[in-house]
A and B are shown apart, each in its own frame.
Chain A
Amino acid sequence: MSAKEMVKKERQSPERAEFQDSAPVYVPEVDIVESDQEFRLVADLPGVDENSVEIDLDKNVLSVSGRFVPQPPEGYSLTYQEYASGNYEREFTLGNTIDRDRIQATVRDGVLRLTLPKAKEAQPKRIAVKAG
């Protein structure tokens, strides 16, 4: 794995100001795949579980956020640090073709999996060609 890819990205400029704490906000890395029927989104959110993740779909903007308040272990001192922890946030713009009622989300081992089915009318249809 190349070093460049694996460095956790910190969000540079907060777009909103409601995070009053000073915890940094990270941009989770994602995989997105598409088929005729659906999109699948997989995001790495270490430290986040089903209670601390939030998914919103506003018009065609999907936002994924995870709350993670790092708790330093008591009675220890940090001697070597390669990563810091904090909240996660990322937004995606979707085509206007998602069937909102059938969106599914699961979180396991710090990985969020979202299934975004395409609306029926957005799925490709095969047009039968009749001989004239």
Chain B
Amino acid sequence: MLTNRREAWNPWAELAQMQREVENLFGRGRSGGLTGGDFPAVNIWVNEDRGLLTAELPGIDPDKLEITVKNNTLTLRGKREAEALREGESWLRRERGEGSFVRSFSLPFQVEADQVEAQFQKGILQLVLPRAEADKPRKIAVRGE
């Protein structure tokens, strides 16, 4: 994956491109247009020190959610169980999604995998992804003679 670092850094474009590449890798590429449609839907926020990923995962057992981080790639893996029918019950309406999911995201920086924090509240997963120290931009002091 080559990125021209000399251009002004545009994390949005970079993310979108990496997203497409990762998805094509899994054969789930979308034909352009708006994002969205894959489960779970995510939003990614960044600042200089860290990234923040939120995902809507209503009804997921957080213990069964597998989150892995390697370099700048984050993978979410899990399963959403179907509503179990009790004896004598039949379906009238069935809209809620079910099944296994895997999604990978490329972040615009390397992540300090040991320091990732995950929180699950009200069906929303929030991951804090600290930027690796080695990957942070450094200011070089220029000394005069």
Contacts and interface: CB of A to CB of B under 8 A. Distances in A.
Contact of A48 (B45, B93, B122): B122
A42 B86 CA distance: 14
Given A78-B44, A81-B44, A82-B36, 20 more contacts: A1-B98, A1-B99, A5-B97, A6-B37, A30-B96, A33-B91, A33-B92, A34-B92, A35-B88, A37-B88, A46-B58, A46-B123, A46-B124, A47-B56, A76-B46, A77-B45, A80-B43, A82-B43, A110-B59, A110-B124
5 contacts: A6-B41, A30-B95, A31-B96, A35-B88, A80-B105
A128 interface: no
Interface of A: 1, 3-8, 29-37, 39-40, 42, 44-49, 72-73, 75-83, 109-111
Interface string B62-98: 0000000000000000000001011111111111111
A46 B55 CA distance: 9
Interface of B: 11-12, 15-16, 19, 30, 35-39, 41-47, 52, 56-60, 83, 85-99, 101, 105, 108, 120, 122-124
Contacts of A73: 45, 52
A32 B101 contact: no
A29 B88 contact: no
A116 B128 CA distance: 40
Contacts, number: 138
B11 A111 contact: no
Contact of B16 (A7, A80, A109): A80
Nearest to B10: A79
Contacts of A80: 12, 15-16, 19, 35, 42-44, 105
A82 B46 CA distance: 15
A79 B37 contact: no
A33 B58 CA distance: 19
A128 B95 CA distance: 39
Nearest to A4: B37
Contact of A82 (B41, B60, B98, B124): B41
Interface centre among A3, A30, A46, A78 (most CB of B within 10 A): A46
B122 A47 contact: yes
Nearest to B44: A80
Contact of A32 (B37, B44, B45, B92): B92
A110 B58 contact: yes
